Structure 1
């Protein structure tokens, strides 16, 4: 079994944090954005879309997409449950993880792709769209701050995959985009201090 990842990639980091929370250790082959090893014919034979992460099982079966990989390991190693324990919790985690993807992670990625110098000449950049998405990120941080009032985690009362998704989104926003949590977002700041201090946050 081997996981193909991207050292600073958002979605590969989601899987690495998930595995660390599960205390699962598997070989990881890391690519980097500059060399673009995941765009070579050899890797495209594994995943024609050229996206990461990709999990290769011992029998050669390939699983792409971060949530699909996380769900596989949730079934293989149920504890601690990161998708919820009961039917209700699983539905709540699914809802909140999807919200974190659509409302926070994807806008953050769009800002990165459309405004960061790294992507000049690599992707078509539309600065106006990047600016629109940046405003959306700021607004969604306000919304998430309200949702976290009186809560330690997103959706349910334990750390879960929705927290991981929001965590990597904010990590990218703070690092690559210099989008800090505003001072008037105390609940979000408290949540961030909590999740970013977990040992697995460095995975």
Structure 2
């Protein structure tokens, strides 16, 4: 079993942290790709994922699973102990709700801000600086909303650490590339961040 990734990329990191929490990091061979050099855009890699995105899980029978949450869901189903996506229907729904919020209104916006203001992928897309700046504002707004939410919640989706925390933590760290940082006044966000980034899995 292989996982194609670029280790520093936030989506690849989400999978690594998830597997570390499950104690499964040693179950896969990690294959490092250089995205800036376009190693994910070859015909061979597009055969694994037609969208040419990482990470991609390659099973021993040749099956390929892309999209980080789909990969995590596969491992959650195989190893339901220490659940990171909930146990009861209500837990699963609440975690999915917050996971989606953190992904759509935070991670994706930081990603768009990076792509459209940094010029990192200017050789394969047309950056629109104004759109990147709007995405930055949206991500900043969500960070403030998350701070308020965490005043009444130990973790992003309730009392237990979950994939929603993984997505939010990876995004907080990734947001540094667009100079979006936690403020001292965001005491709830900072309390939560110190807790989740202090877990051993965060270093995966």
TM-score class, shorter: over 0.9
| Residue 9 of structure 1 pairs with residue 24 of structure 2 | no
1:138 to 137, 140, 148: 140
Alignment of 1:90-169 (within 5 A): 90-169=92-171
State the secondary structure of the residue aligned to 2:77: helix
Task: Return structure 1 stretches of 4+ with deviation > 6 angstroms.
Answer: none
CA distance in 1, matches of 2:160, 2:118: 34
1:125-147 per-residue CA deviation (whole Å, 9 max, x = no partner) reads 11111111111111111111010
- Report how many aligned residue pairs link the two structures: 202
User: Is the 8 Å Cα contact of residues 8 and 32 (structure 1) preserved in structure 2?
Assistant: no
Q: For structure 2, list consecutive stretches of 5 or more residues without a partner in the other structure.
A: none
- Displacement of 1:33 in angstroms is 2.0
1:180 aligns with 2:181: yes
Q: Tell me, in whole angstroms, the C-alpha distance in 2 between the residues paired with 1:122 and 1:195.
A: 35
Residues 153 and 163 in structure 1, CA contact (< 8 A), matched pair in contact too: yes
- In the alignment, does 2:39 pair up with 1:37? yes
- TM-score of the pair, normalised by structure 2: 0.95
Matches of 1:7 and 1:134, distance apart in 2: 23
Contact 2:4 2:33 in 1 (8 A): yes
RMSD (Å), alpha carbons: 1.1
Match of 2:196 in 1: 195
CA distance in 1, matches of 2:185, 2:199: 24
Contact persistence 1:7–1:32 (CA under 8 A): no
